[in-house]
Amino acid sequence: MSHIQETTDHLLSRRSFFGRTLWGVGASAMASMMPSRLLGSPLNASFAPRAKRVIYLFMSGAPSQIDLFDHKPRMQDLFDKDLPDSVRQGQRLTTMTSGQSRFPIAPSMYQFARHGQSGTEVSELLPHTAGMVDDIAVVRTVHTDAINHDPAITMIQTGTQLPGKPSLGAWLSYGLGSENNNLPTYVVLNSTWTAKRDAQALYSRLWGSGFLPSKHQGVRLRSQGNPVLYLANPEGVTQETRKTMLDGLGEMNRKQFELSNDPEINARIAQYEMAFRMQTSVPELTDMSNEPDHIYDMYGPDAKIPGTFASNCLLARRLVERDVRSIQVFHRGWDQHGNLPRDLPLQCKDIDQGATALIQD
């Protein structure tokens, strides 16, 4: 009898759990469909949230933490000594080091100094960042269980090593909805990098929507040619013709939805309508000729070169000003397995001034 009672209690607790969970999922889904004017001030919030938008700067390939933010002065005394077994505890390091006969300790080549009231130690490679350390938080405990790049970056972008799950930007789009009907809720900017060595690939699934509706996936803006492929009308097609064509296509899609009830059809209709509005909003967004000289001085000379990290930081600021909910800026080339003394300073020069300007702008 006691076993039956325990089983019943277990089932009841599961029902209670799923009931409460579904309320949470329903609230998130409703948020994505509510008018934007209702999203500005959440009802019954326990505190007044200040952050409404996210700019996520991601250095793909993993910057060397001991050369930038995680000073290890004692390693100077251990230079060229073998890594103690107590550190590795028998764990395989990487395939690239499997053929090494020994694992010598190599301290950082760069000088560190304390900056700001916080006294945060920053490498000499990041002078602009060092000047505003009191405006940022340095967290030294973030890690994954993944050794290789692809599962690690997948984990950081989606919360799991398994591909196919929604990215952070997709979740923000799904949970918070849009505040601008003329631009995507989630925009991705891929930057050029100076080191020009082979870099880890960036797959579109890193900004994908996974099992969420496809309207929540990131939209990549290109730095060369049309910012979005096929956004411009083909030669000989006027704006009025395109609008008539889209209206007819939308009507056919709505009839198909009545037959199949497939939610992806509604997502497709919304994407076509968004693309039409973006024909006006995107050119205005990417035309940075009206930015004053002092802004370019702040972001650095690279800000005038489309596709650079500094230029994308400035573009990210313009997206935020237009109420885009989530912007992700990628910068590749941080996987310095060889020639770190050459490549790491180049990579830091790419991002230091632009990232600092974005935070202070």
Q: Could you report the per-residue pLDDT of 284-327, keeping only the tens digit for each?
A: 788 888 899 999 999 999 999 999 999 999 999 999 999 999 99
Question: What pLDDT is attached to residue 28?
Answer: 38
The C-alpha angle 109, 115, 116, rounded to 5 degrees, equals 165
In a domain, 326, yes or no: yes
Measured distance CA(299)–CA(73) in Å, rounded: 32
Q: Which residue has the tokens 């024909």?
A: 279
b/e 56-87 (16+ beta carbons within 10 angstroms → b): bbbbbbebbeebbbebeeeeeeeeeeeeeeee
3 lies in a domain? Answer: no
Q: How many CB atoms lie within 10 A of CB 125?
A: 23
Residue 48's pLDDT is what? 58
List the Cα angle 81/62/349 in 5-degree steps.
100
The alpha carbons of the chain give a radius of gyration, in whole angstroms, of: 25
Write down the pLDDT at residue 144. 81
Residue 98 covered by a domain: no
Instruction: Give the helix/strand (H/E) hosting 255.
Output: helix 239-260
In a domain, 28, yes or no: no
Q: Would residue 342 count as lying in a domain?
A: yes
The whole-number pLDDT of residue 46 equals 44
Q: What is the pLDDT of residue 72?
A: 94
Q: Which positions of the chain have pLDDT values less than 50?
A: 1-46
Query: Could you tell me if residue 83 is inside a domain?
Result: no
Residue 151 lies in a domain: yes
| pLDDT for 231 | 66
pLDDT for position 158 = 94
- Report the number of distinct structural domains present in the chain: 1
Amino acid (1-letter code) at residue 324: V
The Cα–Cα gap between 231 and 208 comes to 20
Q: What is the pLDDT of residue 25?
A: 37
In a domain, 87, yes or no: no
Domain that holds residue 111: 50-77+106-360
